[in-house]
Structure 1
């Protein structure tokens, strides 16, 4: 029963793609539409820190740019619009692509809404890394912060997607925080 619930949960997340509140192409200020007819916005309205970089080793449009954070312990995207009182799926995508020429394996934390923490550990420079979280936002805006966990590793992000979920989705699971990491499902019961 639990396995069936997890599978259903995964496919329901895929269905929500059409309900996106905002798709942020990190590291660019230009809006655009990708080959899948998905509209992307630049990140200039959501963050004031970090440096921009491009990656030439990918053909995925919204992964060709990124924003990295060489200074500060925590750098945050804020004022991301969400629907208060509902649940949202926030998907963060990371494509290292050796943008800095260091061939390193970056590791850092991501903090959603100031309280839900996930860990990013890039093991392959040329494979995207995905970290998603479903939670109930406290207000009509949310934030995603990138936290340095090592002095030798700069946090970065390629894209942030935020999806408002339909009313009632996941109600049968009770108060649950759900992480999706590179297509592996991990659930942790926790009150919002």
Structure 2
């Protein structure tokens, strides 16, 4: 129950820009990774965000679904994921507006989709730079990472890099444009918040 509460809080925080102007999602990229193309798009009732399939933005990876024991969470975007059993580096290429400041977030939830209870560990890159190490053995009920970033070009590459024997995976990608006066005038990156969803007695952010 605590995990559900924390996930709902995360969704509320990340969608605050949308909630200020609920009908305006211009410039948003909101991907339910691994979702079949024919089920896209859909509106998430918790956030009001319109999720689309990632299938047109990456040619590698396979779709997986969390174990049905996790269905009780009732958070549709996290019930499927894209996992990458082949290759060392698999990348999304996302169209963005150059010199525009974005809030970029990604959610990673294993959910025993393969029935092995083997939690993945891999690296996440933004362009050529390592963003985070995603250790789902440490954060078994999922983790969320986010960054404020101003791209230097009109495309943005997000890559999952295999570092051991387990397969990288990703549940959602969410990108929101800011006004350029929100975060400085120069291109660059600023790590923001990272959420860990766990069963401990204290909340960790």
User: For the superposition of Structure 1 and Structure 2, which TM-score range results when normalised by the shorter chain?
Assistant: 0.7 to 0.9
Equivalenced residue count is 172
1:41 corresponds to 2:91: no
Match of 1:73 among 58, 82, 88: 88
Q: CA deviation at 1:129?
A: 0.9
Which residue does the alignment assign to 1:6?
none
Root-mean-square deviation (CA), in Å?
A: 2.6
Q: Structure 1: which 5+ residue stretches go unaligned?
A: 1-10, 186-192
Note the 1:119-158 alignment, pairs <5 A.
119-122=133-136, 123-125=138-140, 127-150=141-164, 152-158=165-171
Q: Is the Cα–Cα contact under 8 Å of residues 22 and 81 in structure 1 kept in the other structure?
A: no
Contact 1:21 1:81 in 2 (8 A): no
What is the deviation of 1:101? Answer: 1.0
Return the alpha-carbon distance in structure 2 between the equivalents of residues 87 and 116 of structure 1: 19
TM-score, normalising length: structure 1: 0.79
Which residues of structure 2 form unaligned runs of 5+? 1-11, 20-24, 197-203
Query: Residue 172 and residue 136 in structure 1: after superposition, are their counterparts in 2 closer, same or farther (change >3 A)?
Result: closer
Deviation digits for residues 5-46 of structure 1, max 9, x if unmatched?
Answer: xxxxxx996643456611000001221111032101101111
Deviation beyond 4 Å, 4+ runs, structure 1: 11-14, 17-20, 172-176
Shift, 1:179, TM fit: 3.9
Tell me what 1:110 maps to: 124
The aligned counterpart of 1:60 is: 75
Three-state SS of the structure 1 residue aligned to 2:17 is helix
Bigger share in strand: 1
